[in-house]
Amino acid sequence: MKKKTLIASLLALIITISAFANPISNAQANFNKQFKQATNVNWSKVGEREKVCFTLDGRAVCAYYDTDGKLYSITRSLLSTELPLILSADLKQSYSDFWITNISEVANGEGTTYYATLENADHELVLKSTNISEWSVYQKFKKY
């Protein structure tokens, strides 16, 4: 009798441990459905959101999922030539004394926003598209 009780207890313990060993979250399940071709997948936590960065079609992409596992936003790096033409022209005209170090596109339920990081010898600027045709200074840093 003791042997049967011990075996039953061990079996229950193994089932319990395997049920909680690396459970897949709703975000991970949704990601696996939405981005089947993703490679180099790396998960992390950002506040309440789950962040997954990955490569898709040769591009660096990050997706953010809310606590229910629903896709909240997607970001990807862009080349300056991939910006909407009006934003690209405004960037070249208004910030000709800066060089571009990064351009990102953020898409969420509110639409698509572009961010451009620019530098010169004295400052670093992060610009945010206020609409499809102009930039505003989002952050500004002085170099030391």
Which tens digits make up the pLDDT trace of 71-96? Answer: 999 999 999 899 999 999 999 999 99
Band of pLDDT at residue 17, cut at 50, 70 and 90:
very low
Cα–Cα distance measured from residue 68 to residue 93, given in angstroms and rounded to the nearest whole number: 43
Closest CA to 61 of 78, 44, 80, 46: 78
53 bridge partner residues: 42, 62
Closest CA to 87 of 108, 103, 111: 103
- How high is the pLDDT of residue 25? 81
Token pair 């939405």 is at which residue?
34
Band of pLDDT at residue 11, cut at 50, 70 and 90:
very low
Cα–Cα distance measured from residue 14 to residue 76, given in angstroms and rounded to the nearest whole number: 42
Q: Rounded mean pLDDT of 23-30?
A: 81
47: left (phi over 0), alpha (psi -120 to 50) or beta: left
| Percentage with pLDDT > 70 across the chain | 83
Query: What domains can you pick out in the chain, each with its CATH number?
Result: 25-142 (3.10.450.360)
Which tens digits make up the pLDDT trace of 46-71? Answer: 888 999 999 999 889 999 999 889 99
Closest CA to 52 of 38, 67, 62, 40: 62
For residue 90, the SS3 value is helix
